Chain A
Amino acid sequence: GAVVSQHPSWVICKSGTSVKIECRSLDFQATTMFWYRQFPKQSLMLMATSNEGSKATYEQGVEKDKFLINHASLTLSTLTVTSAHPEDSSFYICSARPWGQGGNQPQHFGDGTRLSIL
């Protein structure tokens, strides 16, 4: 159980285009999902917390107009990288925690999206 699906797994696009990444919890509901960015051989850096039915909470230094997050349902959050440029190339990973379970629960991660901007 607790499977998180992320799509696409890999995308290459031209500079200036916008790219949407989907994160779905397949067998549980999640009021909160998280978006991370990871550079090669580095740790995961939290970008934002996606809240179902409300605005996302962005970490300091993350441009909210650049990285648009929508969490329209309890099983889907999307991250849109707007007007992407080569410096946005990275590995983006989402995670979710099951809703309604008492006590601490681990986050479950998708398999990430490799974004390459030419």
Chain B
Amino acid sequence: GESVGLHLPTLSVQEGDNSIINCAYSNSASDYFIWYKQESGKGPQFIIDIRSNMDKRQGQRVTVLLNKTVKHLSLQIAATQPGDSAVYFCAETPNTGNQFYFGTGTSLTVIP
């Protein structure tokens, strides 16, 4: 779906634990999905992407899972570190367009 002006949900985890951040989308035509990390006062930073012909993709300490049946995307961060504290956004784009639409975002706080 398109970005909405809702206040951010929050997630707190202990340092070293795994984090799971979820995102729901509504556009069945979306075929490319990205997770971004945004630190305070900065622009979003690319983390990992996945195309609709895949259901899982792994990066360094991060894994993205895509469930097209229920239109759900998740980001898993292994061994969460204090530097992972930020706001995480999912973004989607349909195969017919150029625009990216951002989810509500989740504020992750890592407790040392």
Contacts and interface: CB of A to CB of B under 8 A. Distances in A.
Contact of A42 (B2, B7, B101): B7
Contacts of B46: 106, 108
A46 B99 contact: yes
Interface stretch (B37-45, B55-63, B76-84): B37-45
Contacts of A32: 98
A104 interface: yes
Nearest to A104: B32
Given A42-B8, A43-B4, A49 B43 contact: no
Contacts of A98: none
B19 interface: no
Interface string B1-18: 011111110000000000
Interface residues on A, range: 20 to 34
B35 to A, nearest CB: 10
Contact of B49 (A6, A106, A110): A106
B43 to A, nearest CB: 4
A39 B43 CA distance: 13
Given A44-B102, A104-B49, A109 B43 contact: yes
A43 B89 contact: yes
B51 interface: yes
A41 B45 contact: no
A114 interface: yes
Contact of A45 (B5, B44, B107): B5
Interface in A5-63: 6, 32, 34, 39, 41-46, 49
Contacts of B102: 43-46
A111 B39 CA distance: 10
Interface in A46-100: 46, 49, 93, 95, 97
B99 A114 contact: no
Contacts of A4: 43
B69 to A, nearest CB: 21
A114 B49 CA distance: 28
